[in-house]
Amino acid sequence: MRISTSWAQQLGVNAMNAQQVNLSKTQMQLSSGLRVVTPSDDPAASVSILSLQESIDKATQYQDNISVVRARLNIEEGSLGTAESILFRAKELTVQALNAPITTNDRLAIKSEIDQLLEQMVGVANTQNANGEFIYSGDLSTTPAVIWDTAIGSYVFQGGVNPRTLDIAAERRVADGDLASAVFFNIDSISQEANTTVNTVEVDKRSVFDTLQSLSKALAGQFEVPEAKLTGSRFMRYGVDYSTGGTLGATSFSLTADDGSGTGSTNTVDVDLPAVATDVYETIDEVVAAINLQLAGNNMEARSNGNQIEFASLTKGEDSSIEITGAGSFLTDFGFASGDSSKGVDLGASIIATKTIPFPPTVPLPDSLAYFGKTAIFELNDEAGHKKEIVLNADYADHTELITAINTQITGSPIEGKIEIDATANPIEFRSISSGTGASVQIRQVTGDFLKNTGFESGDTGRVFNQTANDVLADLDKVLDTFLKTRTTVGARMRALDDQELQSEKFVLDIKSTLSDIKDLDYAEAIGRFNIEQTALQAAQQAFSRVQSLSLFNFL
Amino acid sequence: MLSTAITGLQAFQRSLETTSHNISNVNTEGYSRQRVDLATSKEQMVGSGYLGRGVSIVNISRSYDQFITGQLRSSTSAFGDVDRYSELAAQVDDILADPTVGMAPAIKNFFNAVNDSTDDPSSLPARQVLLSETDILTSRFDTINARFKQIREQINTDMVVMADEITGFATSIADLNIQIANAQGQTTGDQQPNDLLDKRDQVLNQLSELVDISVVASSSNMINVFMGKGEVLVLDGTAQKVVTQTSRLDSTALDVGVETNTGFVNVITNQISGGALAGTLRFRAEILDPAQQRLGSVAASIAMEFNKVHELGYDLDGVAGGLFFQGDGMGSDAIPVSADVSNSVGSAITVMFDKDEIANIDHSDYTLEVTGVTTYKLTRELDNSSIDLTLTAGLLVPSNSPTDQLPGITITPSSLNVGDTFLIRPTYTAASTIAQNITDPREIALATNAAVDSAGNPYVITGPMPGDNRNGLDLAALEHKKGMMGETATFQGGYGLVVSEVGVLTSSANIASAAQETLLNNAKDSWSNVSGVNLDEEAANLIKFQQSYQAAAQMISVSDTLFNALIGAVS
């Protein structure tokens, strides 16, 4: 066995190099604090590190979203609180207004405060968040939710179609607000001012603004009578392209409305769009203008509430009616169905019996319905001086006979056209059907048991103002319900946010700990290793220098 | 007696000279120690017996083992291969490990910006941030790609240098062959021109570092050298010229070839199997190109998926969303395709990414061949699998769909003829060409403008809905969509694969390199044990020959004394 001198030296150098490489690698680890410095150090671990980091980042982004949603929901909650206190004050004022006697000055004072409350409520509906977005406008967030529309004469909803949602976790979206159309508008109402029938279904809803406005007007002696009205369900704010060059092409439809005479006869107009072949309607107002050119003089009009198109008869009250028909694209484009129709209602005061008269009458009756022999007479009058005494003196077998008997006597009397009895209601309802400020109906006892049977008190009077104010009171309660319901959903959403945030925090903590196990250097082990390698290098260096000095030539 | 002593003197003088030659060359690379072979001179019959006539030098030979030298050469080749491979792999590994260049944080920040602008769709600042992050993302892809390009250029330079070196070595070997043959011609029998032979072995060693060679003995102690799988490099006294030229189908890559004397270059890229040249070529094919293409497929997937959702949405002005990203195959520019030089004039294909098959985007190269008038074949270069295509409605589609699928691309042919061939590298340029297409923050389409009327019919709102973020929600959800690799990986997952592939290959290259280095050291060890100079041994030899010389010199002095005594006795 022999070894060459140069190879012996090379072996020593190789050994030192190897130790230096190890030492330098450990040094890299110590200075960076990472166990895996390049992917080749541990390829499987480097992929795990990337995917764990991805999970952490995903969860962190969701936490950011949660903060954003929470801030917005806080603003919404605050605004609802303000709205509720406005409502409470409005209720107080309404009760005050109902308490007779009340002078005109008092009424006007209450009215001006109601007007202010109305403006405040509009302000709440138009609350903006820190970015200047209107929180109740949904996806049309740069437009105020509520504005005053002069043509329609009330506050209308101008916001978007959908509330906005944000992801707070994978597959979990939370809305960061609500649409004013669900909170301030479309609230159940018992008032006849809100009463229209659409497709023979009664639709009794109005906005809180309309409610307050009706009170304000009533205090000034004005009363709104609703007209027949049809509203399209599609958001057509940005108009439509019916030009002959466009994708939709021309369309037509027909509108039938009462002619305003009260006789039941109608006008029908066939509307053609486009009015001009190249007309591209850029906004809904242009569509309305083009339609109105064709409707002029037919006792009907088209208008828009900013987002949707409406067709209304110019007549108000029970005689007003409107219907839309057609097969063209206009109906589906704007959100109607062919045959949609609406009728108006008359506004009036009414008095309602407190007891139901049973039919067929039970024998023996505690109070006889056989008015033959025990004639009952009562008087109906309105405060304008029209009155009539109604005489009941026969055996009435059923409710219908009783009503017919009363109706026969109303016909041809001074109260005809002013007071009517409801055709089917049991308990009995007497209604004023004129809509002037003095509209009222009163019942007085003359003789007999009719009032006792029905529970009326002599002198019971229904006044339009009282009716209106009572309706407002009931409606304000409904508004309060809506606000509370909305606050509840907001609260539920905020709790969901808290839950999710907690879960995510725990998740992130777990992942971070796993990541650290894989990625970070175990300093104790590394430093120990560093010391050993350092010693090994020093030993190799010393051995090398010792061996180098050995040569036979030194001894020759 | 005098002449016997003189033979001794001469022999020992030669021995001392040889020992001195060994000592002087102790550090010469490739030097095999030489020894003087002594034998007794022809004896002479002198009546009472055969009298020895002294010593004669038979040969000065070198300590040499043919097998060990061959072993050393092949170990050198093998080590050269994996060593160069792992050096280059470490460069790519370092690029991907660099936290300032890594894609993972860029992708994360991009989607964070998408989320932030989705939280606040009407906010222009948030949208502006998204545009900035998009720019950073596309630049990051480009940066990594540029580093790859740098390495590619470096490899090309290396290959040119290596080709020159190989040619230089081959020329040296040819010259040495001639010199050795001449020197051999001047001798009789076993004498060999030792130093020339050592030198030739040394050049062969240096050559085998660069490329694997096989050596076959030729006449007059000349050798023939063959490269790779049998390409001639040196034949007796003539050497071939090794050159590089631009690859036919990929203008950024070089091929290695041998130039014949007519100027024609015989490409031998696929036949090289050892040495640094093989390591370089293998690195390019196994690590560099696939890494670039995998990175490209991540870029292409992000761009196509994002564009697809973005085009469904509406921007801040109510205008339908346009292209968010641009790039080769992603928007208006087509993927670059190489046509074979022998293709018919005017034949071409247009290749774009298919937005309905984004999950099928693949990182391999593809070759399209027109096999018949209406038949076409698409071959996947990585595994040599192929599918048949037919022409339907102006596009080439798989004949056997849905079992066969195109790799996320659409191919539109124009004037193809039988025999035309094209090389398609769908994701090769994706990372370097991906760019943002939108500069106005208002044009980011975060809204879907979708609504449902009271009858349940869906419709689209035709104007601006600034608070609508539903398209933004869909865009943000892309981060977690498994849209890559046949719907098994997210974008981050796809990028993770780039990193892990390189990491695994680098790690195993490091292990292979360490193993080969050990084998090489063993071979060097064996070689130097046989042929290396040991100074202590030479020092001992010095003493030995010095003493022998002194003894032989003493013999002459004795012989002189005897002669003087004889002369004195006679006179």
Which has more pLDDT, B263 or A81?
A81
Question: Per this entry, what is the length of chain B?
Answer: 571
User: Which phi and psi angles does A341 have, rounded to 5°?
Assistant: -140, 160
User: Which phi and psi angles does B459 have, rounded to 5°?
Assistant: -150, 170
Asked whether residue B242 carries a pLDDT value surpassing 80, the answer given is yes
- Are B116 and A335 an interchain contact pair (Cβ–Cβ within 8 Å)? no
- Are B503 and A43 an interchain contact pair (Cβ–Cβ within 8 Å)? yes
Q: With beta carbons under 8 A apart, name residues in chain A contacting B500.
A: 39, 43-44, 46-47
- Are B533 and A6 an interchain contact pair (Cβ–Cβ within 8 Å)? yes
- Are B535 and A142 an interchain contact pair (Cβ–Cβ within 8 Å)? no
Confidence of residue A151 (pLDDT cuts 50, 70, 90): confident
Least confident stretch, A123-127, A423-427, B65-69, B89-93: A423-427
Q: With beta carbons under 8 A apart, name residues in chain A contacting B473.
A: 165-167, 173
User: Which phi and psi angles does B159 have, rounded to 5°?
Assistant: -65, -40
Tokens standing for residue A488: 């509840």
Distance from CA of A128 to the nearest CA of B (A): 13
pLDDT of residue B85: 95
Asked whether residue A405 carries a pLDDT value surpassing 80, the answer given is yes
- Are B465 and A139 an interchain contact pair (Cβ–Cβ within 8 Å)? yes
Confidence of residue A278 (pLDDT cuts 50, 70, 90): confident
Question: How many Cβ atoms from other residues are within 10 Å of residue A39's Cβ?
Answer: 29
Confidence of residue A438 (pLDDT cuts 50, 70, 90): low
State whether residue A552 sits within 8 Å of chain B by CB: yes
Closest CA to B306 of B102, B476, B497: B476
Confidence of residue A80 (pLDDT cuts 50, 70, 90): very high
Average pLDDT over residues B321-326: 94
Tokens standing for residue B433: 């060409």
Confidence of residue A434 (pLDDT cuts 50, 70, 90): low
Report the share of chain B in percent with pLDDT over 70. 100
Please, what is the average pLDDT of chain B?
90
Q: With beta carbons under 8 A apart, name residues in chain A contacting B113.
A: none
The beta-carbon neighbor of A164 closest among B467, B496, B536 is B467
CA distance B267 to A502: 65
Residues 6+ apart with CB under 8 A from A454: A353, A354, A355, A357, A427, A428
Asked whether residue A55 carries a pLDDT value surpassing 70, the answer given is yes
CA distance B78 to B513: 9
pLDDT of residue B411: 92
Distance from CA of B454 to the nearest CA of A (A): 6
pLDDT of residue A367: 46
Asked whether residue B378 carries a pLDDT value surpassing 90, the answer given is yes
Return the top range by mean pLDDT from A29-43, B331-345, B507-521. Answer: B507-521
- Are A39 and B123 an interchain contact pair (Cβ–Cβ within 8 Å)? no
Which has more pLDDT, B104 or B516?
B516
pLDDT of residue B134: 96
Query: What sign for the dihedral angle of Cα B175, B178, B181, B187?
Result: negative
Asked whether residue A366 carries a pLDDT value surpassing 60, the answer given is no
pLDDT of residue A171: 83
Let me know: does A281 contact A293? Beta carbons within 8 Å.
no
Cβ burial, residue A101 (10 Å; 0-12/13-18/19+): exposed
Tokens standing for residue A281: 């309607």
Tokens standing for residue A421: 């009895």
Which positions 219-238 of A are in contact with B (Cβ < 8 Å)?
233-235, 237-238
- Are A40 and B457 an interchain contact pair (Cβ–Cβ within 8 Å)? no
Which positions 11-70 of A are in contact with B (Cβ < 8 Å)?
14, 37-44, 46-47, 50-51, 53-54, 57-58, 61, 64-65, 68
The beta-carbon neighbor of A65 closest among B119, B470, B506 is B119
Average pLDDT over residues B316-331: 92
Average pLDDT over residues A151-169: 89
Average pLDDT over residues A178-186: 92
The beta-carbon neighbor of A39 closest among B26, B97, B470 is B97
Question: How many Cβ atoms from other residues are within 10 Å of residue B410's Cβ?
Answer: 18
Q: With beta carbons under 8 A apart, name residues in chain B contacting A165.
A: 469-470, 473
Distance from CA of A9 to the nearest CA of B (A): 11
Average pLDDT over residues B193-221: 91
CA distance B435 to B299: 10
Average pLDDT over residues B498-522: 93
The chain A residue lying nearest B23, using CA atoms, is: A5
State whether residue A242 sits within 8 Å of chain B by CB: no
Per the listing, tokens 């061959």 go with B70
- Are A161 and B461 an interchain contact pair (Cβ–Cβ within 8 Å)? yes
The beta-carbon neighbor of B503 closest among A2, A40, A164 is A40
pLDDT of residue A337: 85
Confidence of residue A359 (pLDDT cuts 50, 70, 90): low
Q: How far does Cα A217 stand from its chain's mean position?
A: 26
Confidence of residue A37 (pLDDT cuts 50, 70, 90): confident
Q: Which site among A22, A34, A40, A554 would you substitute to test the B interface, given the most B Cβ atoms closer than 10 Å to its Cβ?
A: A40
- Are A133 and B537 an interchain contact pair (Cβ–Cβ within 8 Å)? no
Residue-wise pLDDT for A3-22, tens only, equals 888 888 888 999 999 999 99
Least confident stretch, A136-150, A307-321, A520-534, B496-510: A307-321
The beta-carbon neighbor of B27 closest among A6, A139, A237 is A6
Question: How many Cβ atoms from other residues are within 10 Å of residue A386's Cβ?
Answer: 16
The chain B residue lying nearest A65, using CA atoms, is: B119
Per the listing, tokens 């004005």 go with A222
Asked whether residue A294 carries a pLDDT value surpassing 60, the answer given is yes
Closest CA to B483 of B327, B308, B329: B308
Which has more pLDDT, A436 or B542?
B542
Confidence of residue A415 (pLDDT cuts 50, 70, 90): confident
Report the share of chain A in percent with pLDDT over 90. 35
Closest CA to A483 of A81, A160, A74, A72: A81
pLDDT of residue A368: 44
Which has more pLDDT, A429 or A247?
A429
Confidence of residue A200 (pLDDT cuts 50, 70, 90): low
pLDDT of residue A370: 59
pLDDT of residue A360: 53
Confidence of residue B45 (pLDDT cuts 50, 70, 90): confident
Q: Which site among B35, B63, B119, B315 would you substitute to test the A interface, given the most A Cβ atoms closer than 10 Å to its Cβ?
A: B119
Confidence of residue A361 (pLDDT cuts 50, 70, 90): low
Average pLDDT over residues B90-99: 85
Which has more pLDDT, B369 or A455?
B369
Average pLDDT over residues B25-47: 88
Which has more pLDDT, B346 or A319?
B346
DSSP three-state, residue A262 = coil
CA distance A131 to A129: 5
Q: Using CA atoms in the order B555, B556, B562, B568, what is the torsion angle rounded to 10 degrees? A: -160
Distance from CA of B112 to the nearest CA of A (A): 7
Q: Which site among B101, B117, B500, B529 would you substitute to test the A interface, given the most A Cβ atoms closer than 10 Å to its Cβ?
A: B500
Q: With beta carbons under 8 A apart, name residues in chain B contacting A170.
A: 480
Tokens standing for residue A283: 């906004």
pLDDT of residue B410: 92
Report the share of chain A in percent with pLDDT over 70. 93
The beta-carbon neighbor of A335 closest among B454, B492, B537 is B454
Which positions 115-144 of A are in contact with B (Cβ < 8 Å)?
131, 133, 137-142
Asked whether residue B149 carries a pLDDT value surpassing 90, the answer given is yes
Q: With beta carbons under 8 A apart, name residues in chain B contacting A248.
A: none
Angle between helix axes B103-119 and B124-185 (nearest 10 degrees) is 170
pLDDT of residue B313: 94
User: CB contacts < 8 Å between A and B, how many?
Assistant: 188
Average pLDDT over residues B552-562: 87
- Are B503 and A46 an interchain contact pair (Cβ–Cβ within 8 Å)? yes
- Are A4 and B532 an interchain contact pair (Cβ–Cβ within 8 Å)? yes
